Amino acid sequence: MHFLEFCCIFIVQTRSTNSFQKVHKKSLFTRFFMNKHFKTLFSGFIALCCAMILTLGCSSPSVGSVPVPTLPEGSTIDLSSSSVTADAIVNSMKFGWNLGNTLDAHEGNEGWSSNKGSVESDWGMKGTASQALFNKLYDSGIRTVRIPISWHNHVDSSMNIDSGWMNHVKEIVNMAYSKGMFVIINIHHDNYEGSSLGTNAGFTLNAEDETKSLAYVEKIWTQISAEFKDYDGHVVFETLNEPRVIGGTHEWGCDGTPEWGCTTCQQRFAIINALNQKAVDTIRASGGNNANRLIMFPAYVAAPYAAIKGKQNGVFTVPSDPNTVNKRLALSVHMYTPYNFAMNCTAAEGAHSDFKDSDKTELNNHFTALKSEFIDKGIPVVIGEMGATNKNNFEARKSWFSYYLGLCKTYNVAAVLWDNGKETNPDPKEAFGFMDRSTNNWYTDSQAAELIAAAVEARGTSGSTPSGSSENWTSIWTGST
């Protein structure tokens, strides 16, 4: 028993003074303790001890229970340095990998999760995340890990995140962080699937749920920010995943004409703008390194043209950064592009398995539009999800990876490969398996290791100075010259 616990028990016992005196009335020890002056002083001391216990007991048990790991020597990013720009950080993120269908897994729109221990395998992943996995990723040239996380199934009725879940998240983050890798943390599948949020945890893009949705985003980011405020610039926050109205009209289509004149889509963009702003404000206000941390934000369903056309048509806005000195915001997009090569498997709809010149043109158009509308205006781009489904077309996929990541290098864009663990899939457009999580090796049948090597070679692994003039890790990490 701890001393403070003993003191609380003791003061409760001494409340019954008469019985205490009857049992010990002949004891000098008892007479000393029953002295009114001593009792006054001692009671005050005990009250203070009890208050300390209550304070400690009421604070989140997750805070400080999983310490911030030590980074490799010379790799700390000094976020207080104005020379460490958002563009420089994004350029150093290079090529990354998603820990997909793992911490984002959930059983539905339920509240409290009943299977916190097995959630990593709920969606068919063969093994849990381990240090060996992240060692393999790093040794393969991967420099960023995006960790999609669902929170709505790990909160109570007051939206307090379960401390065990938060600690588990931090343990996995630390595995990558301790290697000197960038780690992207987000709110992932908390986009409620129903027509009305009601009493469920999460957010929607419905106007009637806007107040509740804003409260949810604020509460979740308040807690995440508190846990990670002491981590350096290797931790990157992503406000939302693919915000949309699941199952609603224009679910995937608020990214071009005629939807810009659609009042429903305009309303959805307005709510996304508000949710992004609420997340940015909450993160910045939390202090520590969060005041200067890189924050990614998406447009509708994280589609690139939803961001590009939405901004051009005045319905999508870049969040205002409260940090007016070191503005570190980045646009988050998901680009499985060109769709007919990368995902579509229906020939009648234009699907093909060879990498065509027209595909290169489409990719070029995406990157030049992103450059014009965001990169040239001080907002770098992180492609949080990308990839090409396995159509048994290894050579074409390899060419696609090389070309795609070559464009990323040209435009200082970071790209993060989506991996759902499915090397083959009954749904052929979802065969995005690269890492065999049961062995922590790249899948062999699809020659995944060669695809990864092609991507890494095209994008590179070394850091650069903020000016991009030389390969010098120390300069970008510390802001030194």
Active site residues: 242, 385
State the Cα–Cα distance between residues 152 and 174, nearest whole angstrom. 22
Angstrom distance (rounded) from CA 285 to CA 430 = 39
Q: What is the CA radius of gyration of the chain?
A: 26
| Cα(86)–Cα(88) distance, integer angstroms | 5
CA distance 181 to 146: 10
435-436/441-442 β-pairing: antiparallel
- CB–CB of 269/254 below 8 Å? yes
Q: Which residues contact 339 (CB under 8 A, 6 or more apart)?
A: none
Rounding to the nearest 10 degrees, give the CA dihedral for residues 351, 355, 356, 359.
Answer: 80
Are the C-beta atoms of residues 239 and 297 closer than 8 Å to each other? yes
Instruction: Look up residue 83 and give its DSSP letter.
Output: T
| Percent helix, strand and coil across the chain, each to the nearest 5 | 45, 10, 45
Question: Do 259 and 245 meet the contact criterion of CB atoms below 8 Å apart?
Answer: no
Residue 9 CB neighbour total at 10 angstroms = 12
Residue 261: exposed, middle, or buried by beta-carbon count in 10 A (0-12, 13-18, 19+)? exposed
Strand extents, DSSP E, 24-110: 95-98
CA distances from 85 to 302, 317, 385 (A): 23, 21, 23
Check: CB of residue 24 under 8 Å from CB of residue 16. no
Read off the tokens for 8: 């609380």
Between the alpha carbon of residue 65 and those of residues 227, 240, 469, the distances in Å are: 10, 26, 41
Q: How far apart are CA 406 and CA 408, in angstroms?
A: 5
Q: Residue 78 carries which DSSP code?
A: -
* DSSP conformation letters of 296-342: EEE-GGG-HHHHHHHHHTTS--PPPPS-SSS--EEEEEE---SHHHH
In this structure, are strands 182-186 and 144-147 parallel, antiparallel, or unpaired? parallel
